[in-house]
Amino acid sequence: MLSWLERQIPKIILAPTFAAVTVFVYGFIAWTAWISLTKSRLLPNYDFAGLIQYRRLFDNPRWDMAMGNLMVFGLLFILLSMVLGLWLAILLDQQIRAEGLIRTIYLYPMALSMIVTGTAWKWMLNPGLGLESLVQRWGFDGFRFDWLVDPDRAIYAIVIAAVWQASGFVMALFLAGLRSVDGEIIKAAQVDGIPDWRIYASIILPSMAPVFMSAFIVLAHLAIKSFDLVVAMTGGGPGYATDLPATYMYAMAFSRGDLGQAASSAMVMMMVIFAIVVPYLYSELRAKHD
Amino acid sequence: MTDQPVPLSAAPAGMRVTRPRLRRMALRAGLYAMLAGFAAFYLLPLFVMVTTSLKGLEEIQSGSLVALPREITFEAWSKAWSGTCTGIQCEGLRPFFWNSVAMAVPAVILSTLIGALNGYALSHWRFRGSNILFGAILFGCFLPFQVVLMPMARVLGLLGLAGSIPGLVLVHVVYGLGFTTLFFRNFYVTVPGELVRAAKIDGAGFFRIFASIFLPLSLPIVTVTVIWQFTNVWNDFLFGVSFSQAGSQPVTVALNNIVNSTTGVKEYNVDMAAAIIAGLPTLGVYVLAGKYFIRGLTAGAVKG
């Protein structure tokens, strides 16, 4: 039989990870949570001061703007990525020649850094030399496409780049989902003469509900954490027009020297993510136990 | 997940006679036209990046966004690699590219190694509380990193790792462990427990069983994990911009500094060349090992 030491090996192996997770995940959450309940500015101050930082946060028009932008950006990003991804998956599911090549083309943006994506789209959406001037050259002199520098529209420019980056990934998820639907049922429906679109609408898509759910979770998570793309494309501007919670938090932590605000905004971000993820994980885990 | 396509359009031949052949061909043509249109949408930025990087500044100012370069010049590329200014320094992307290599290689190796041992221990050497530990590790996969930025900056300072590449390696290993552990655990769980029990009865220990049973099976999951980690670490910007100094910045941070610097003439061709250079390693991995890339993406997505 194994010696006592041998039996402890799995625990010894996991001990560093246990320690790292305890400190770097849970310890750090606790630290940030505590700082969000103090009057910390440039330096941490550990005296409890109640919800003063959260009151400051919700009174701050810049935070309102960031949360409003997150709503607009998040909803459009999730909706457009899902619709486009699903549509592409259905198109690709029609026994396409060169499917592998086309899939590769649709998905490659996911391999790029958001900074690279942002750099490319910033150049293309540049009103003076980008797509706007291209269309004007084609003879449409009045064509305007200056969203990137328009405070009311800049957030939509970021949505375009984000959808470009993530929709291929949603396509890959949906395509895998489409291919795991029971082929027998579909054959039976075809024999009954049911048109293809009805087979999709009534049989295939409803059976893919879990795939919709995981695509939604991933996209929502991506949206709430969005930071790089905004930094690369607009830097949060014009003004604060494209500020998101993540850029707000970063500005407070590293350029404004307002640790209390940074901590409280980070906590709000975490709570929003967990409000979405925890019910999902809970139902997933329960489903497995049943 | 099966790779068997559902034969929607290959329905029993008899059923399709009702639909006129002409209409069917038009539908197919429309389908391919749409697929090509979308392919153009995804390829356009890459095409524009490459052509812009090969043009001179004058041609960019006077020509069309989508025109091919009249005169191909690699000046922008050499400037992006070794001459353009990233803040005060004017050495191009090169030093930062190597910073990213020096950061990504150890971070990927360490987090994959630890993840493999963790996943093995969690799947076949369970003990009281090991499931809770796994749950606690998984939870970290969802963490918005904003919550840990400030305490991490302080701890790196305490450890004497502030603004250094080893500091970034530590950060990427710690926050990469959740996913690497998850990948290996879910893969190793499919290895039959009888195999491990039989080896234990024969007197093999923890490491012996790992080396002789698990390691030989691990190539696919190691590939998936390495690609996943490499892509994430290489493309990271948040940690890079928060925890690095002028000399230790990763390539993403340097690229952003080049593109969003407000001084001097905007050299779009240099920006584009720099963006391609920063994107090439992960793009290369994707082209060479796309299958494993997608597998990591979907595995990570479904579970975390």
Domain that holds residue B187: 94-250+271-303
Residue A85: what pLDDT?
95
Q: What is the mean pLDDT of chain A?
A: 89
- Give me the residues paired with residue A38 across strands: A48
Residue B116 lies in a domain: yes
Instruction: Check pLDDT > 50 for residue A39.
Output: yes
* Chain B CA closest to residue A173: B298
Residues B198 and B292 in one domain: yes
- Calculate the CA A174 to chain-centre distance: 17
Place of tokens 């027998």: A184
Cβ atoms of residues A78 and A220 within 8 Å: yes
Classify residue B23: in a domain, yes or no.
Answer: yes
pLDDT-derived band at A233, boundaries 50, 70, 90: very high
Q: Indicate the residue of B9, B42, B65 with minimum beta-carbon distance to A133.
A: B65
Residues A162/A211, Cβ–Cβ less than 8 Å = no
Q: Which of A45-59, A60-74, A82-96, A141-155 has the lowest mean pLDDT?
A: A141-155
Q: Is residue A231 in a domain?
A: yes
Distance CA A208, CA A167 (A): 17
Query: Chain B partners of A187 at a C-beta cutoff of 8 Å?
Result: 7, 11
Q: Calculate the average pLDDT of chain B.
A: 86
The CA distance from B134 to A287, in Å, is 18
Q: What per-residue confidence (pLDDT) applies to B7?
A: 46
Place of tokens 């996911």: A110
Q: Could you tell me if residue B226 is inside a domain?
A: yes
3-state SS class at B187 = helix
Instruction: Give me the pLDDT at residue A8, please.
Output: 87
B180 shares its domain with B37: no
The parts of chain B modelled with pLDDT lower than 50 are 1-17, 303-304
Domain membership flag for residue B40: yes
Identify which of B241, B302, B252 has the alpha carbon closest to the alpha carbon of residue B279.
B252
Q: Is A205 near chain B, with CB under 8 Å?
A: no
Domain, as residue range, for A101: 62-175+210-289
Two tokens, residue A148: 């990137």
Q: Does residue A124 sit within a domain? A: yes
Give the pLDDT of residue A288.
60
Chain CA centroid to CA A209, Å: 19
Strand partners, A48: A38
Residue among B142, B158, B207, B245 with most chain A CBs within 10 A, to mutate = B142
Angle at alpha carbon of residue B288, lines to B282 and B290, rounded to 5°: 80
Residue range A105-109: average pLDDT?
92
* Residues of chain B numbered 266-285 and touching chain A (CB < 8 Å): 268, 271-272, 274-276, 278-279, 282-283, 285
Q: Which residue in chain A is spatially nearest to B67 when comparing CA positions?
A: A134
The answer to whether position B259 is within a domain reads: no
CA distance B160 to B151: 14
Closest CA to A245 of A71, A59, A113, A55: A71
d(CA B74, CA B65): 18
State residue B151's pLDDT score: 94
In a domain, A188, yes or no: no
Q: How confident is the model at residue A182 (pLDDT cuts 50, 70, 90)?
A: confident
pLDDT of residue B210: 93
Instruction: Provide the CATH number for the domain around residue B228.
Output: 1.10.3720.10
Cβ within 8 Å, pair B205-A2: yes
Q: Which of B197, B221, B225, B208 is nearest to B125 (CA)?
A: B197
Residue B206: list chain A partners with CB under 8 A: 6, 9-10, 13
User: Of A179, A102, A185, A89, which Cα lies nearest the Cα of B4?
Assistant: A179
Across the A:B interface, residue pairs with CB atoms under 8 Å apart total 280
Exposed, middle or buried by CB within 10 Å (0-12, 13-18, 19+), for A66?
buried
- Determine the average pLDDT of the residues in A102-113: 92
User: Domain count of chain B?
Assistant: 2
Instruction: Report yes or no on A153 lying in a domain.
Output: yes
Cα separation, A165 vs A117, in Å, equals: 7
Q: Which residue has the higher pLDDT, B253 or A151?
A: B253
Number of structural domains found in chain A: 1
| Residue A36 maps to a domain | no
Q: With pLDDT > 70 as the criterion, what percentage of chain A qualifies?
A: 98
CB distance from B27 to chain A under 8 Å? no
| Number of continuous H segments (helices) and E segments (strands) in chain B | 14, 0
Residue A54 lies in a domain: no
Q: What is the mean pLDDT of residues A95-116?
A: 91
What are the contacts of A86-91 at 24+ separation with CB within 8 A?
A: A86/A170, A86/A171, A86/A174, A88/A167, A88/A168, A88/A171, A88/A174, A88/B38, A89/A170, A89/A171, A89/A172, A89/A174, A89/A175, A89/A177, A89/A178, A90/A174, A90/A178, A90/A200, A91/B31, A91/B34, A91/B35, A91/B38
CB atoms within 10 A of CB A198: 10
The answer to the question of residue A136 being in a domain is yes
pLDDT of res. A95: 85
Q: Tell me what the mean pLDDT of segment A21-29 comes to.
A: 95
Considering the domain boundaries, does residue B148 fall inside one? yes
Interface with chain B: mutation pick from A14, A31, A36, A205, highest number of B CBs within 10 Å: A14
Contacts of B117 (CB under 8 A, 6+ apart): A13, B210
Report if residue B12 sits inside a domain: no
User: Could you give the angle at the alpha carbon of A90 between the alpha carbons of A85 and A93, nearest 5°?
Assistant: 125
Judge whether B187 lies within some domain: yes
CATH number, domain containing residue A107: 1.10.3720.10
pLDDT value of residue A19: 94
Same domain, B52 and B180: no
> Does B147 contact A270 at a Cβ distance shorter than 8 Å?
yes
| Residues B110 and B143 placed together within one structural domain of the fold | yes
A199 in a structural domain: no
Contact A273 B144 (CB under 8 A): yes
Interface of A with B in 111-150 (CB under 8 A): 111-117, 119-124, 129-131, 133-134, 137
